[in-house]
Structure 1
Amino acid sequence: MNNLSRILPRRLKAVTPDQRGITGLETAIVLIAFVVVSSVFAFAALSTGLFSSDKAKETIQAGLAETRGSMELKGSVVLTSSVSGTAGTVSDIAFQVSNAAGGEAIDLTPGQTLIKYTDELQSKMFVTTAGFTASGLGSADSDSLLERGEVYELKLIDLESSFGSGTDTLTSKLGVSTTFNLEVIPPRGAVLFIERTTPVFLDDIMSLD
């Protein structure tokens, strides 16, 4: 009987499978799954961070390009009138610009740069050499690129002799006591905004500060 009691547990242990190997395998599978899921989340977080960094970099670069491509007004706005007096009308509007930040060149070629004219009666676009000219002054070269240290003159021309509903012309003459706005719109960079008011009496040539 004693021998039977010693032999029986050993026989039962022999026919009962050892669970330790299975438990270890399950643990390994769980750990592998955890590592894979963690890697996926880490990759997603890293990708999101890199994307955000790239967008921030693009925004900063765009802001710098906008600043470096800005113009500023140099001097006065000069009006030319072929008819003077209280009934006078403006024929040309001229003003000088320079590179505000001394940075990237700005293409002032008509068509690349646009000028928008607005007063209480009209809003017109000047987009070709029929409407305005861009001329380098002093040491500026003639490539129509406003570069560091250069000054260019922009001039709206033939304002009192050419009228129409299209671009490069006014639909009504610019006379006395009229407030007008000019927006110089470059291909890149900030828009230069100019506002002036014509006096009650127009001379042949007048300077508006």
Structure 2
Amino acid sequence: MKFMKHEEAFTGLEAAIVLIAFVVVAAVFSYVMLGAGFFTSQKSQEVVHTSVDQASSSVEIRGDVFGRDAGSTPSEIEIVEFAVALTAGGTALDMNSSVLTFQKSDVAVTTLTHAYANDYVSSTSVLNETTGDNKWWIYQKVNGDNDRLIEGSELFIIRAQLGATNEVAANEQFNLEIRPATGAALGLKRTAPAQIDAVNVLY
């Protein structure tokens, strides 16, 4: 009996195996690429959200900034007073974790110490007029509860008492910054008036 060699079936089987291998490899490669794309997209969104949080401040100044003279000679501003509240859509801010710094043109940056950091104040509380050099504290709360979070419609009135080298004379400029734990710093650049009175509006 004579056997004939027919290789057509083997050639078709080899082609099918090669095709299946290519399909499997392409599917795995596509899955890896899609996974990498989704991961990159998620990371990009996280970076954008983090950047927005870091670039925008969640608090703003409400009303005027006042400078107080406690009766020193010569007349100089010894206490800076201002009110802060949340910006529209801003997240709650913990004042206990915020840092205040002060600087004049001829003096290096001074970090102010948080006085009464462990005490809670209510909307009717009035703390001491003076607490010591280079300190700040929450002087009063409006629509506030018994915590240090600025939330919703709450308004915090902040007082900063300046040290002897930081007291502001007439026509002198200064910069006071609020640096929260997250978000951009809020700067208060103001100038003292030509005549220092007991209470002065800084511009």
With structure 1 as the length reference, what TM-score do the two structures score? 0.76
Larger radius of gyration: 1
Equivalent residue of 1:82, what SS? coil
Equivalent residue of 1:51, what SS? helix
Equivalent residue of 2:64, what SS? strand
1:38 CA displacement? 0.6
CA 1:59–1:127 in structure 2 vs 1: closer, same or farther (change >3 Å)?
Answer: farther
1:102 CA displacement? 4.3
Tell me how far apart the structure 2 counterparts of residues 154 and 183 of structure 1 sit (CA, whole Å).
12
The aligned length equals: 184
1:187 CA displacement? 1.4
Structure 1: 5+ residue stretches without partners: 1-9, 162-170
Could you tell me which of 153, 175, 184 is aligned with 1:190? 184
Equivalent residue of 2:103, what SS? strand
Tell me how far apart the structure 2 counterparts of residues 134 and 57 of structure 1 sit (CA, whole Å).
36
CA 1:47–1:102 in structure 2 vs 1: closer, same or farther (change >3 Å)?
Answer: closer
1:79 pairs with 2:79: no
Equivalent positions of 1:36-47 (< 5 A) are: 36-47=24-35
Tell me the equivalent position of 1:115: 100
Tell me the equivalent position of 1:106: 93
CA 1:127–1:206 in structure 2 vs 1: closer, same or farther (change >3 Å)?
Answer: same
Tell me the equivalent position of 2:144: 140
Identity of aligned residues (%): 29
CA 1:119–1:59 in structure 2 vs 1: closer, same or farther (change >3 Å)?
Answer: same
Residue 57 of structure 2 contacts residue 186 of structure 2 at CA under 8 Å; is this kept in 1? no
With structure 2 as the length reference, what TM-score do the two structures score? 0.79
Residue 193 of structure 2 contacts residue 200 of structure 2 at CA under 8 Å; is this kept in 1? no
Tell me how far apart the structure 1 counterparts of residues 184 and 152 of structure 2 sit (CA, whole Å).
16
RMSD: 2.5
Residue 116 of structure 1 contacts residue 123 of structure 1 at CA under 8 Å; is this kept in 2? yes
1:200 CA displacement? 2.7
1:152 CA displacement? 0.2
| Bigger proportion of residues as helix | 1
Letter in 2 for 1:106: L
Equivalent residue of 2:176, what SS? strand
Tell me the equivalent position of 1:89: 76
Question: Deviations for 1:132-165, whole angstroms, at most 9, x for unmatched residues?
Answer: 10244232123111001010011112x245xxxx
Tell me how far apart the structure 1 counterparts of residues 26 and 113 of structure 2 sit (CA, whole Å).
58
Tell me the equivalent position of 1:128: 114
Letter in 1 for 2:79: D
Tell me the equivalent position of 1:4: none
CA 1:172–1:181 in structure 2 vs 1: closer, same or farther (change >3 Å)?
Answer: closer
Structure 2: 5+ residue stretches without partners: 116-131
1:35 CA displacement? 1.0
Tell me the equivalent position of 1:154: 158
CA 1:138–1:172 in structure 2 vs 1: closer, same or farther (change >3 Å)?
Answer: closer
Tell me how far apart the structure 2 counterparts of residues 172 and 74 of structure 1 sit (CA, whole Å).
24
